[in-house]
Homo-oligomer: A and B are copies of this chain.
Amino acid sequence: MFEKLTVIAPGLLGASIGMAAQQRSIAKRISVWARRAEARQVLESKDWCDEAPPSLKDACSGSSLILLCAPVERINELASNISPILDSNPIVTDVGSVKGKLSRHCHSVLESKGRFVGSHPMAGSEKTGMENADANLFEGNTCFVTPLEETDSSAAKSVSDFWISLGANVLQESPERHDAIVANVSHLPHLLASSLANYLSTTLPAAAKFCGNGLKDTTRIASGDPQMWLDIIVQNRPEIIRSLDALQNEIQSLRTDITNEDYFTVFGKLAKGKAFRDQLDP
């Protein structure tokens, strides 16, 4: 059990972590820091939050584990901000969905003050905000933990154990390998869903009338927050471009098979896609 857990910038993820940690008795005390006074007022009323001080220093003081839960583009700045005020050599982690540059930056600014180990719980949702927080958000979902080669391995283990105690399935990968993986399994699906929705909104504005479950499923994640996704694109641009190009090749190859009426090959592709999907949970 951690003596003190600090959640910084609670949105959906930060608040869900706080709730989950309290319900599972993972920390003796949970301190939460939010920038806005209104958010701090809301926090005071939450049973999972023991204190919500206005000062970042107070929130971090004496902490054993600090979670930076801001959107990915603000994490580097937060790490720089907390570095000079840490007094307890805490473990520091984050929930950013892109890990390469971020991990190196945080590791370097926190060195000697705290031990940084990046995390990425894959438990987002179209919904955002503290009001949608859920103590079971991480249960059964993947959480990446992305130490660098030079990261203290006991700190990496503590962070992994923390996510496991919240119910997540932890995978350790290097930050760079993580970024290539999520470009393929998360960012690419989002951009496809968004492109399909975008295309239909122009070609067939009344598509809602004709919409079956297939279209609903395939475009669901296009409802995600545009600013959050833009930030992800900015952070993981080279890997995303690589994934988009590879998928374009795949679609173009299918298009060629259909044009050539090479139905043997088309059938093979449909069957291979089905085999892949069938091994995932429904």
A residues contacting B by CB (< 8 A) are 122-125, 141-142, 169, 171, 181-182, 184-186, 188-201, 203-204, 207-227, 229-230, 233-234, 237, 240-241, 244-248, 250-252, 254-255, 258-259, 261, 263, 266-267, 269-282
Kindly report which residue of chain B lies nearest to residue A276, judged by CB atoms: B201
Give the contacting residue for A203; candidates B124, B184, B215, B254; CB below 8 A: B184
**Contact residues in B for A216 (Cβ distance below 8 Å):** 280-282
- Chain copies in complex: 2
- State A220–B212 Cα separation when bound (angstroms): 13
Give the contacting residue for A142; candidates B209, B223, B276; CB below 8 A: B209
- State A266–B240 Cα separation when bound (angstroms): 13
**Contact residues in B for A212 (Cβ distance below 8 Å):** 122-124, 141-142, 185-186
Are A247 and B171 in contact, CB atoms less than 8 angstroms apart?
A: no
Are B248 and A255 in contact, CB atoms less than 8 angstroms apart?
A: yes
New contact pairs (9) apart from A185-B204, A220-B282, A247-B251, CB-CB < 8 Å: A122-B210, A142-B209, A142-B210, A184-B203, A198-B269, A198-B273, A208-B279, A214-B220, A237-B261
Asked, given contacts A142-B209, A240-B258, A248-B255, whether A273 binds B185 with beta carbons under 8 Å apart, the answer is: no
Are B274 and A224 in contact, CB atoms less than 8 angstroms apart?
A: yes
Are B244 and A255 in contact, CB atoms less than 8 angstroms apart?
A: yes
**Contact residues in B for A211 (Cβ distance below 8 Å):** 142, 185, 280-281
- State A197–B224 Cα separation when bound (angstroms): 21
